[in-house]
Amino acid sequence: MSALKSSNLGYPRIGANREWKKALEAFWAGKLSEEAFTKELETIRLQHLKKQQDKGIDLIPVNDFSWYDHMLDTAVMFGLVPERFGYEGGVVPLKTYYAMARGNQGATACEMTKWFNTNYHYIVPELDGAEPVLTENRPLTAYREAKEKLGIEGKPVLVGLFTFLKLSKGYDTDALDEVIQYFLPLYTQILKELEQEGVKWVQIDEPILVTSLTQEDVARVEAIYSALREAAPGIQIMLQTYFESVEHYAQIVALPVHGIGIDFVHGGEQNLNAIQTLGFPKDKVLGAGIVDGRNIWRTDIEASLELLTKLAEVVPYERIIVQPSSSLLHVPVTTEPEVALNPVLKNALAYADEKLDEIALIVRAVNEGKEAVAAEIKSATSAIEVLNSSKERSRTDVQQAAAQAHEQPASRTSSFDVRKGAQQARWNLPFLPTTTIGSFPQTVEVRQARQKWRKGEWDSEQYDAFVRDEIKTWMDLQEDIGIDVLVHGEFERTDMVEFFGEKLDGFAFTKNGWVQSYGSRCVKPPVIYGDVAFVEAMTVKESVYAQSLTSKPVKGMLTGPITILNWSFVRNDLSREQVAYQIALALREEVEALEQAGIEMIQVDEPAIREGLPLKEDQKQPYLDWSVFAFRLSTSTVKDTTQIHTHMCYCEFHDMIDSIRDLDADVISIETSRSHGELIFSFEESTYNKGIGLGVYDIHSPRVPEVEEMVSMIERALRVLDPELFWINPDCGLKTRGKEETVASLRRMVEAAQQVRKASQIKA
């Protein structure tokens, strides 16, 4: 029997200690020259490759590393730079590359949106009539580097043409066939050059193939891969899918490629059934994604070996490559620093490095026999069993409450129309009220103070006094700027999910469990490993203090149950729905505590509802139904006069407007500035009859917006939305921005609101 082989699909960019992030931010701040920055990233990249080499991975991906984002990399490789950035051709300079991602004072950044149903966000390519050219063959450069410097016969990774175009904007969808023809010669050129270089395998990522495609789309994919095969017949293409089961399985596996990569973790049951019932081509290699690339739990090795046995009944081992279910971009680097975790939990975790070890272990178990690795298999099985039987996963009171959630009240006492009148009488807000989303800049001083407190250098009294001073500073600033509904600024919070997880039962926190969210923005998701329960009030102290400083309303700020769920690493022994209900019932107690303390505007943020939306059409509505129910479960027991706000990131509003309306929030704010026009179009097609604030400027960019830009956004929105229900706000929290730019931007935002108010009075 020929040996089973191993592969990886992508490795985390950020480094074990976030070296990549630190280098980017030092370069942006002018503390690192371009030459030094380039050298630092090369060092990080080669370390990652060497680690995979040392672990014995047979097919090591190259060109999975990025300077910011892989979709942006692909766009600049084809010279797709919007006109506003002043690009004049050739290899795209780093200054232009990062301006596309972050914006600059002269040009707004490109839109950013989520990568399928993950917590990673990519930069959306803008085609807009551009004529693509191959500015540089990045996969070839990456291949040469790995071979010359480490002796690695790498597997270049490339975003597939069809996925790239489906995720881009700026072209008429009716002209898709024509657009494909513009790009196809560039893809064939890349492959020809790789073939000439002697590359054996190339990984072409087409995750779009797990979404709902038409037969016309499948025909386009067939034509693309026929052309690629004809252009470079000597190179072996691994057509890689992930995140779900393959649509149109029979046609996709028949494509003229040498291998098909399939996810057997997410959508695995459907994929296995397709292989068992429809077979698998005898001339192709199966990339079997059997180690979860998106969650942090150890693999059940016995179950994986059983799965491989089933696959081997159809595809012999010599044509199977064991790999993660997706790129390991979505998990932290290594569990080694997690010495402070409960050993029961730590032993059940596997980050990227440990997942590569698991892949190697599975391959050894097949190639050498299970007896050769019996101790390692036993250790993995035991770790999972010990966690599953722990007291943290055995709280019957919490489990029963979640199981009976639909017997709980989950509707407001009165309709929105009744509440609207009661709330206006209670608050007497001006026309077009202004507010912010919740957080203010987390300065170096704020972060240092938190570190001193966590390290024990400050006691809780010192730290609380510091936080109160920050709250007062920003309460005074908000009053001076003229904002109508204030926030306390969230200076006591590291992260909008981590903060709540630290105060609820059932969560654990890692030391180094960082993952990339977008660009250099890294997050450290909590680990939901046990049953989730309320312990004590979490936000009341700071909110009540802030309210004592002003006669204006102050919003209490919470993170919603679905966002906490979707932005955490979630236990895999319960359904996500049941975990969401546990979180919702815990948050309900916090909402009620705020109201009882006199905080009667409460924002329950749900920016991540869309991120958890399943990729399959038939699974979307059930998910939305229980997500909406979880939100209402946490917010529906308050008085009519208590105003419930929520915040969401741009989410193709038209796709889920009914569900958003069903949240029954009194006010919703939406992150839209990079895609404001598309969202306004949604409102031209569909009505929304509750309070709403469309973000009027982009907080992800350091540029201070002009008043006229925001006035234009407001006026366009008011053509399709009820002016009496419209709010003015930035499009997201201001945690990552600097103080000066934040104050300047908010002053201009208030000025824009005042201009529109005056214009409305004149018209009236």
Q: Is residue 348 part of a domain?
A: no
- State the average pLDDT over residues 152-174: 97
647 annotated among ligand-binding-site residues? yes
User: In this structure, what are the phi and psi dihedrals at residue 596, rounded to the nearest 5 degrees?
Assistant: -65, -25
The pLDDT confidence band at residue 2, using thresholds 50, 70 and 90, is low
Instruction: Give the CATH number for residue 119.
Output: 3.20.20.210
Amino acid 702: pLDDT: 82
Are 613 and 746 found together in one domain? Answer: yes
Q: Is residue 368 part of a domain?
A: no
Q: Is residue 350 part of a domain?
A: no
Are 216 and 318 found together in one domain? Answer: yes
Residues in the chain: 764
Q: Is residue 341 part of a domain?
A: no
Closest Cα partner for 401 from 508, 303, 533, 549? 533
Q: Is residue 405 part of a domain?
A: no
354 annotated among ligand-binding-site residues? no
Are 734 and 633 found together in one domain? Answer: yes
User: Of 266, 296, 331, which residue is a domain's last?
Assistant: 331
Amino acid 1: pLDDT: 46
567 annotated among ligand-binding-site residues? yes
Are 327 and 424 found together in one domain? Answer: no
Are 311 and 452 found together in one domain? Answer: no
Percent of the chain with pLDDT over 70: 97
What gap in Å lies between CA 557 and CA 488, rounded to an integer? Answer: 9
Average pLDDT, the chain: 94
Are 112 and 239 found together in one domain? Answer: yes
605 annotated among ligand-binding-site residues? yes
Are 319 and 437 found together in one domain? Answer: no
269 annotated among ligand-binding-site residues? no
748 annotated among ligand-binding-site residues? no
Evaluate if residue 498 carries a pLDDT over 50.
yes
Between 401 and 495, the more confident residue is 401
662 annotated among ligand-binding-site residues? yes
Asked whether 661 and 719 are in contact (CB, 8 A), the reply is: no
- 406 in active site: no
Amino acid 113: pLDDT: 87
pTM above 0.75, yes or no: yes
Beta pairing partners, 157 = 203
Q: Which residues are CB-neighbours of 694 under 8 A, at least 6 positions away?
A: 669, 670, 672, 676, 679, 680, 713, 717, 721, 731
Q: What are the tens digits of pLDDT across the range 43-91?
A: 999 999 999 999 999 999 999 999 999 999 999 999 999 999 999 999 9
Q: Which residues are CB-neighbours of 201 under 8 A, at least 6 positions away?
A: 59, 155, 235, 236, 237, 238, 258, 259
731 annotated among ligand-binding-site residues? no
- State the average pLDDT over residues 589-599: 98
User: Of 284, 305, 331, which residue is a domain's last?
Assistant: 331
User: Of 331, 346, 361, which residue is a domain's last?
Assistant: 331
In the DSSP assignment, the letter for residue 87 is -
Structural domain span for residue 270: 5-331
The encoded tokens of residue 759 equal: 């214009």
Tally helices (H) and strands (E) across the chain: 27, 21
Asked whether 326 and 294 are in contact (CB, 8 A), the reply is: yes
Q: Is residue 410 part of a domain?
A: no
501 annotated among ligand-binding-site residues? no
- State the average pLDDT over residues 87-105: 95
115 annotated among ligand-binding-site residues? no
Q: Is residue 51 part of a domain?
A: yes
Evaluate if residue 185 carries a pLDDT over 80.
yes
Q: How many domains does the chain have?
A: 2
Closest Cα partner for 593 from 544, 665, 532? 544
Beta pairing partners, 691 = 667
What gap in Å lies between CA 762 and CA 668, rounded to an integer? Answer: 28
Task: Measure the CA angle with vertex 211, ends 207 and 215; round to 5°.
Answer: 110
Closest Cα partner for 267 from 259, 277, 275? 275
What gap in Å lies between CA 439 and CA 557, rounded to an integer? Answer: 9
Beta strands in 22-144 (DSSP E): 61-62, 112-114, 121-123
Are 81 and 209 found together in one domain? Answer: yes
Are 491 and 615 found together in one domain? Answer: yes
What gap in Å lies between CA 749 and CA 729, rounded to an integer? Answer: 8
555 annotated among ligand-binding-site residues? no
Are 450 and 562 found together in one domain? Answer: yes
Beta pairing partners, 155 = 61
Q: Is residue 89 part of a domain?
A: yes
Amino acid 681: pLDDT: 67
Evaluate if residue 737 carries a pLDDT over 50.
yes
Amino acid 713: pLDDT: 87
The residue annotated as part of the active site, out of 70, 266, 645, 700, is 700
Are 83 and 228 found together in one domain? Answer: yes
19 annotated among ligand-binding-site residues? yes
Amino acid making up residue 328: L
What gap in Å lies between CA 496 and CA 564, rounded to an integer? Answer: 8
The pLDDT confidence band at residue 239, using thresholds 50, 70 and 90, is very high
Amino acid 698: pLDDT: 83
- State the average pLDDT over residues 392-412: 94
469 annotated among ligand-binding-site residues? no
Residue 373: its H or E element: none
382 annotated among ligand-binding-site residues? no
21 annotated among ligand-binding-site residues? yes
Asked whether 564 and 607 are in contact (CB, 8 A), the reply is: no
119 annotated among ligand-binding-site residues? yes
Are 577 and 451 found together in one domain? Answer: yes
339-376 core/surface letters (b: 16 or more CB in 10 A; e: else): eebeeebbbbbbbbbbbbbbbbbbbbbbeeeeeebeeb
